[in-house]
Amino acid sequence: MDRKQKYKAKPGCTKKMRERRRHQSTELRRSKRQHVMNAKRVRMTSMCANEEDITVEEVQQMAALIVAKTGDKKEQLRFLKRSFTQGTALIDAFLSVDNAMAALVGILTRSDSDLQLDAAWCLTNIAAGLETHESTVLTHAGPYLVTYLSSGNPPLQDQCAWAIGNIAGGDTKHRDILRDQGAIQALINLLQSSTKNVVKSAAFALSNIAKDKEKCKTLVDEGVLPALVTHLKVSEDNMDVLAECAWVLTYIGATGEHEAALISGGILSALADIAVDVVAKDKDNFNVLTPVLRCLGNICSRPDDAPLKACENKQLMPTVAKLLDSTHRHIRKETLWALSNLTGHAEVCKLALEANLVKPLIEMLHSTQDIKHEVAYTMCNLAYHSTDICQHLLDSGALPAMVPLLKSTDTDTVHLALSFTDMVLRDTENGRQAFEEAQGLTFLEALEYHQNDTLRLQTNEILDNYFYKEADKRTG
C-alpha cells in the first residue's frame, strides 16, 4: 500500500484536521485583525496630541450651534472632529442634541467642499464608536457617503471610504445595507484612483466588507481581484496601500472558495514575490508580512499545485528561513502558518530541506504551545512525503524534540505527535531506538487509555505495531 494512503487512513486524518485548523485559525486571526482595525478607525487631527480634555457640555453647546446654523462652521466642525476622538461619551453628547446629526449631514450635502470634508471627517469618527453610532451614521448619511465615492474629489472620496470602512467594521446587517446601496462596486472603482490615500481607504473598507463569506463572492464577481493585483508591488511609497490590499485578499482566501481565481489572476505568485522583496529589505515589516504570509497560507491550504506555484520564486524558501529567525514572535508564527500549508506538496518539502529549515523548526519546538503546534504540523507534512525525509528528520534530532508533545493538553497537537511518531517508526530503521531513548514509550503508555477515542486508537496501534508485537516475538 502506498505510504500516503496508510497515513491518510489514520483516525482523525490530517485532511479533516486541516479543515478544522483552517477554520479555527481564521476565526482567531479574524478577531486579532479586528483589534488592529479598531486602532486605526479614528482619524486624528494634528492638534489631538496636545488637546485638552473636552467636556460633554462643550460638545452639546457646539452641537447646538451647528443646529442653529450660527457661528463659524469651519471651527465648529474642527472642534467636533477632535471631540469624537476622545471617546464615545462625547459622541453620545453630540447625538443627544435634537437634530444634531441631521444638521451635520446637511453640511455634508452642501456645495462647500471644505465643509463637506470636515463633516465627513466627523462622521468617520462617530462611526468609529459603538455599533449604535455606526448604525446612526449609516441611517442618516450612508447613501450620501456612497454617492460621494464617485464625486471626483479625492480628499472627499478618501474620507467617505474611511467612514464606510468604519461602518462596515461592525454588524453584518450594516454591510448588507452598504452592499445594497452600491458601496462595493464604488469602492472597487476607487482602487483605480491615482491618489494613494483613496486606494488605501477603499481597500480598508473592502477588507471590512469581506468579513462576510458571501460578500467575498460579490467582491470577486464584481472584479476586485484584477483591481487589487495592480497594487501588489513593493516600493517605499506603496507599503501602506500594499498592506491594506493584502488584507482584502486574506479574507477572500480564507473562504476556501476562490483559490483558482487567486492563482490564475497572478495573485499567488505576486504574494510570493512580495514576501521575498519585503524580507530582503526588512524581515520584521509585520504590517505587510502579516497579511501576505496569511494569504499565502490560505491559498496553499487547498489546491495541490498551489504550493509549487508559489515556489516558482526560488527565493521563497530561503526567505522563509529568514522569517523563522525574525525577532518578532508574531512574524515567526505567521511564517509557520504559511509553511505548514506550503509543505503540503512533496516538491516543496524537498525545497524546505534544501533551505535548511529543519534545524530552526526543531529549535522552535521549545517555544509556546501555539508555535509548537504549527511546527508539528509542518513536521508531519515533511515526514509524510518521503522515507528519505523521515530519515533526515530523525538524524537531525526531530523525534526527541517531538516526543514531549505527546503530553500536550491539546488533542490536535498530540495527534500530530503520534502521527509523526508512527511515520518515523515505520520508515526508519533506528527510529524505535531513538524513540525509546527519548522516553517516548512512557508517554505512549500514558495515552493508552486516553478518553479521546482517536488518540486512544492511534496510540494502541503504534504500541501494537512497533512494541508489543516485537516483545511477543522475543518471548515466543
Please write the tens of the pLDDT for every residue from 73-100: 999 999 999 999 999 999 999 999 999 9
Q: What is the pLDDT of residue 284?
A: 87
Q: What is the pLDDT of residue 53?
A: 87
Does residue 412 fall inside a structural domain?
yes
d(CA 81, CA 204): 20
Segments forming the whole domain that contains residue 443? 1-8+371-470
Residue 206's pLDDT band, with cuts at 50, 70 and 90, is very high
The verdict on 394 and 444 lying in the same domain is yes
Rg (CA), the chain: 27
Is the confidence at residue 310, as pLDDT, over 90? yes
What is the number of domains present in the chain? 3
Please give the full DSSP string across 70-132, using - where no structure is assigned: -S-HHHHHHHHHHHGGG-HHHHHHHHTSTTHHHHHHHHHTSS-HHHHHHHHHHHHHHHTS-HH
φ, ψ of residue 55 in degrees (nearest 5): -95, 160
Is the confidence at residue 15, as pLDDT, over 80? no
Please give the full DSSP string across 36-78, using - where no structure is assigned: HHHHTSSPP-TTGGGPPPPPHHHHHHHHHHHHHT-S-HHHHHH
As a whole number, mean pLDDT of residues 119-128 equals: 97
Residue 10's pLDDT band, with cuts at 50, 70 and 90, is very low
The verdict on 332 and 395 lying in the same domain is no
Helix-helix angle 369-385:14-39, to 10 degrees = 140
For residues 142 and 181, is the Cβ–Cβ distance under 8 A? yes
The verdict on 319 and 193 lying in the same domain is no
DSSP 170: S
Q: What is the pLDDT of residue 26?
A: 52
The whole-angstrom distance between residue 223's C-alpha and the CA centroid of its chain comes to 22
Residue 302's pLDDT band, with cuts at 50, 70 and 90, is confident
Q: Which amino acid is at 126?
A: I
The verdict on 463 and 435 lying in the same domain is yes
Mean pLDDT, the chain, rounded, equals 90
Range from 17-26, 61-70, 242-251 carrying the lowest mean pLDDT? 17-26
Q: What is the pLDDT of residue 40?
A: 41
| Domain at 386, CATH number | 1.25.10.10
As a whole number, mean pLDDT of residues 17-42 equals: 50
d(CA 105, CA 451): 61
The verdict on 159 and 59 lying in the same domain is yes
Q: What is the pLDDT of residue 304?
A: 79
Written as nine digits, the cell of 241 is 496601500
Residue 471's pLDDT band, with cuts at 50, 70 and 90, is low
The verdict on 390 and 301 lying in the same domain is no
Residue 22's pLDDT band, with cuts at 50, 70 and 90, is low
Picking from 205, 227, 244, the residue at the C-terminal end of a domain is: 205
Written as nine digits, the cell of 19 is 479543515
Taking phi over 0 as left and psi of -120 to 50 as alpha, with beta for the rest, 221 belongs to alpha
Is the confidence at residue 346, as pLDDT, over 60? yes
Does residue 90 fall inside a structural domain?
yes
Is the confidence at residue 373, as pLDDT, over 60? yes
Residue 333: exposed, middle, or buried by beta-carbon count in 10 A (0-12, 13-18, 19+)?
Answer: buried
